[in-house]
Copies of this chain bind each other. A is one copy, B any other.
């Protein structure tokens, strides 16, 4: 029987604290500005991907969350496969030149790639970042590529811009770069998760309508029509990039959280300034913002920082030392959430200084809470989604 060669990895979700919004080159996913993110723990949110190659496979096939994708309809995926095969071919050529026998010509084999998230797509969490990071890492492992995470990030970026940041644990920055071919538009690690492991995140999932404007088309509409966006890119982001990087290196939570909130609001302001306007925040999102603002006022300092991607869900960052207060407020607002099963010691926290109107909107509008923290980048996995016969295990 012909051998099946395979590699399995898991990859994390990342949530930007300095937002990526706008492309200067849509084909290559080259952004209009740099961005920064926190990589979330894979204990709670992750994609697992198995990539397999075999002489016996007759065509390239990809399955995402149990459904086969039309790979030829995805220019991003065919480009990635072509580029990664070319890199594998270089590896094979080098090995042969060095006299190695029995170099497996994987670059010539067809592939089966199977990918699954451990969280519902319906949660509205950007899964494409984890997905493309896992895709690239699984192929890199299968092909035994010698590339660093920084170098692989250039590939992942072409699949989904923000995927390049999911190749790193901890705190990552995607430098926008300046070259036309995108070869310097890559991510790198600001600090590993061990640098600041006390960073925690609570994801407040809104009982939402379907996302109204896909981010890919939305961001280009902003680039084309928003006056304020030009200012954001040229004057707001560059300074914030420096300040946020420094806050992470200094483990300065207050500065980090303030900048994170300001950047989320600045990004959504540019969405609103788009013509026609794009709205991702809804009344529940606003209530989450007020809850966090009130909580910080009550605490007398910034102990929590919210951020919103292209959707209504709030991600609230906080430090372990303030868990009782931050999660206490969330437990008061959302007493019935299943998340508390893993946190039985958290005492609900109420205060007359919370605006009860907004608390009520949080209670009514949030469908699910996910409690997680900062975590590592892609990991080799023992989970196999393709068996030794090349059959799918899903």
Contacts and interface: CB of A to CB of B under 8 A. Distances in A.
A219 B270 CA distance: 18
B275 A272 contact: no
A266 interface: yes
Contacts of A283: 282-283
A254 interface: no
Given A283-B282, A283-B283, A227 B266 contact: yes
A239 to B, nearest CB: 9
Interface stretch (A112-120, A229-237, A338-346): A229-237
A227 B357 CA distance: 30
Contact of A209 (B227, B276, B357): B357
A9 interface: no
A158 to B, nearest CB: 31
B282 A273 contact: no
Contacts of A357: 209
A317 interface: no
A266 B209 contact: no
Interface string A249-262: 00000000010011
Contacts of A269: 228, 269-270, 272-273
Interface string A272-291: 11111101001100100100
Number of this chain's copies in the assembly equals: 2
Given A227-B235, A228-B231, A231-B227, A273 B279 contact: no
A342 to B, nearest CB: 31
- Main secondary structure on chain A at its contact with chain B? helix
Contacts of A231: 227-228, 230-231, 235
A86 to B, nearest CB: 43
A275 B265 contact: yes
A268 interface: yes
A356 to B, nearest CB: 12
A290 to B, nearest CB: 9
A198 interface: no
Nearest to A234: B231
Interface in A191-238: 209, 227-228, 230-232, 235-236
A60 interface: no
A293 interface: yes
Contact of A277 (B209, B274, B275, B289): B289
A41 to B, nearest CB: 29
A186 B234 CA distance: 34
Interface string A235-246: 110000000000
A291 B266 CA distance: 26
25 contacts: A209-B357, A227-B231, A227-B232, A227-B266, A228-B231, A228-B232, A228-B236, A228-B269, A228-B273, A261-B275, A261-B276, A262-B275, A265-B272, A265-B273, A265-B274, A265-B275, A269-B269, A269-B270, A269-B272, A276-B293, A277-B289, A279-B286, A282-B283, A282-B286, A283-B283
Q: Which 7 A-B pairs have the closest CB atoms?
A: A231-B231, A269-B269, A269-B273, A269-B272, A228-B228, A283-B283, A265-B277
